[in-house]
Structure 1
Amino acid sequence: MTAPRLDVVCIGNALVDILAKTDDAFLEAMEIPKGGMILIDQDRAVQLYDAMGPAVEVSGGSAGNTATGIASLGGQAAFFGKVRDDQLGSIFTHDIRAAGVGFDTPHATSGPATGRSMILVTPDAARSMNTFLGAAVDFGPEDLNEAQLQAAAVTYMEGYLWDSPSAKAAFLRAARLCHAAGGKISLTLSDPFLVDRYKDELKDFVAKHVDIVFANEEEVCGLFDADNFDAALQQVRQHCDVAALTRSEKGAVIVSGEEVHVVDAAPVAQVVDTTGAGDLFAAGFLYGMTNGHSLYDSGRIGALAAAEVISHVGARPEQKLAELIAAELGLQQAQRA
């Protein structure tokens, strides 16, 4: 029996996001670097939770947000990631399945608790993430669903997982399985600090295994030690088939060989929380690519999805993105071959 066709399989850290509004004074008092992501242990996670203000809990993680965005657009998505059999693990599982994403990775019955990211949002909409990876670091090759990988048009990998040796092994196995079945591999670089830690490894992985790269301006410049964005663009186009490079309010640049498409940022009445902007841009772009849209139109879908998610607190869309895209861009789902 042939497995159902999937647009995208997303592999990443299975985390519950705990979001709270705060101010710069709190960040300084708690010695939290503003605007980035740092890894913390479980004791620090408890300390921050006790100190932070009222919070909202929702299943998250970068690749999980992307999978949810694809489902909201009407695409077929699955997610691979590791949670523990605890309360937060149940929250994660319920939320991602309720969003229409396939999630069948078995829960761990021992070891670290389910991971969580304490996301502190300041009035300027900057988000500072303090992440306890927990059970997510134990994701490995044995957690891959081979049938789903072979059924996916694209397998999308979250760079944050590169901190885990077992996850690196899973990425390599997933790349082989997906390519053997005719699918494409996509990687998001995730974070400038991650790029600094694993620059040579990531460049090698991109050159040998990755078809579609997602990065923001700082990440792509860091990967290639480039002094400016244009120099980084010239480098990345030699290492992969497609690069989708986001530039915040400047929009995005999509490059594929000699093709270059500049996509304007979609207008936002008020930027409330930038958490998930890159994740939802990737969701829109991958949905577009896997459903017959051009690279430019895929970028437009990504920009609109990103604009929706930064207009409210939280990294998951509050509107049905399929309806939003149809209304704002006039793009319907393309006919599949």
Structure 2
Amino acid sequence: MSFLPASADAEFDLLCIGNAIVDVLAPVDAGVPEAEGLVPGSMTLIDAQRADALYGRLEPEQQTGGGSAANTAVAASLLGARTAYLGTVAADALGLAYADDLRRAGIFYPTAPLDAERAGGHSTARCMILVTPDGQRTMSTYLGACTAFGPADLDERAVARSRMLYLEGYLFDPPAAQDAFRRAAEIAHDAGRKVALSLSDPFCVGRHRAAFRALAAGHVDILFANEDEILSLYEAADFGQAAAAAARDVELAVLTRGEKGSVVFCRGERTDIAAQPTTLRDSTGAGDAYAAGFLFGLARGLAIAECGRIGAVAASEVISHFGARPEGDLRALAGV
């Protein structure tokens, strides 16, 4: 039996909500993140002045419309899913380019750019992603206009007509966004849909642990997390303990473990999925791509093991090159 209920009336397979951020990817030498006062492998929030200064010291190799949930939406679309995205940008050149980029990728993106008053004087968000030779990425994020997202920015009709709603944990900082998450989950469940949450980052979990646990237990059907994030969420001593807690809280817990593959608990039943062999160049977007592949599989009514395999294929493609978006033919690689 498929995890998703039948829904012939669905307009979209997947609607993602997250921080609308322009990703700026730059290769750097080992030691540069520490020299910039950053914790390697983590995400640090910075202000506009720091963003401008850091950007001036980098040599970007790639700039794309991104943010975690947007990366998932794009990868899912490339696999053949009908996808939509909600996230706020400013009415500036970067924001207009962001919207155009997503729409050209086949994403339904109805969110209007914010005027100066709604944006609070902020420009469109940017994330500087420093990638060291070992493939590790360290992110410095200026949130800018994406922090304005709130319940008024929900396209309630699109939420109700999407088979799955996917919420990005990075967006959870502003109180208005938290309200939007809860309202969107309510709309989705009232329409008989499933709600997924990505924890995004262990530091993000640390800031909102109690709220995330309440959200997972009360509003979420599908939880995506890596090993560090799930350990942080449940303040667990080991992975097994954290995984068991997640399996109790949600119907479907999807837990990724890098080279160890992933572990999925569906209504208490465990499925282990192997990682796909690849050469790591840049780990940016690995979790986003995995979620896209997994959710695509759910939308097609596939078995959990097959959903995980497609997710692993998508993740392996993304980490094999520089940048968070797939470059190869995901449909051919995954055989879908």
Quote the residue 1:329 is aligned against. none
Task: Confirm or deny that 1:189 pairs with 2:195.
Answer: no
Distance 1:144 1:211 in 2: 20
Quote the residue 1:148 is aligned against. 158
Where 1:315 maps in the other structure, the secondary structure is coil
| Residues 213 and 51 of structure 1, relative CA distance in 2, 3 Å threshold | same
Query: Which 5+ residue runs of structure 2 have no aligned equivalent?
Result: 1-7
| Residues 293 and 4 of structure 1, relative CA distance in 2, 3 Å threshold | closer
Percent of pairs with identical residues: 45
Aligned residue pairs, count = 325
Quote the residue 1:165 is aligned against. 175
Distance 1:227 1:234 in 2: 12
How far is the alpha carbon of 1:54 from its aligned partner? 3.6
| Bigger mean CA deviation after superposition, 53-62 or 123-132 | 53-62
Pick from 281, 285, 298: which aligns with 2:294? Answer: 285
Task: Confirm or deny that 1:86 pairs with 2:63.
Answer: no
How far is the alpha carbon of 1:4 from its aligned partner? 5.6
The root-mean-square deviation of aligned C-alpha atoms, in Å, is 1.2
Task: Confirm or deny that 1:44 pairs with 2:50.
Answer: yes
How far is the alpha carbon of 1:325 from its aligned partner? 1.1
Where 1:237 maps in the other structure, the secondary structure is helix
Where 1:13 maps in the other structure, the secondary structure is coil
Where 2:242 maps in the other structure, the secondary structure is helix
| TM-score, scaled to structure 1 | 0.94
Please give the per-residue CA displacement for 1:217-261, whole angstroms capped at 9, x wherever unaligned.
Answer: 011111111111111111111100000000000000010123111
Q: Would the aligned equivalents of 2:251 and 2:268 in 1 still touch at CA under 8 Å? A: no
How far is the alpha carbon of 1:37 from its aligned partner? 0.3
How far is the alpha carbon of 1:322 from its aligned partner? 1.4
Where 1:24 maps in the other structure, the secondary structure is coil
Q: Which runs of 4+ in 1 moved over 4 A?
A: none
Please give the per-residue CA displacement for 1:45-96, whole angstroms capped at 9, x wherever unaligned.
Answer: 0000111124311111000000001100000000000001112112211221
How far is the alpha carbon of 1:109 from its aligned partner? 1.2
Pick from 211, 214, 218: which aligns with 1:201? Answer: 211
| Residues 311 and 237 of structure 1, relative CA distance in 2, 3 Å threshold | same
Quote the residue 2:315 is aligned against. 306
Distance 1:301 1:55 in 2: 28
Q: Would the aligned equivalents of 2:24 and 2:60 in 1 still touch at CA under 8 Å? A: no
| Bigger mean CA deviation after superposition, 82-91 or 61-70 | 82-91
Task: Confirm or deny that 1:216 pairs with 2:226.
Answer: yes
Where 1:129 maps in the other structure, the secondary structure is strand
Q: Would the aligned equivalents of 1:58 and 1:91 in 2 still touch at CA under 8 Å? A: no
Letter in 2 for 1:122: T
| TM-score, scaled to structure 2 | 0.95
Distance 2:329 2:85 in 1: 19
Task: Confirm or deny that 1:61 pairs with 2:71.
Answer: no
How far is the alpha carbon of 1:3 from its aligned partner? 7.1
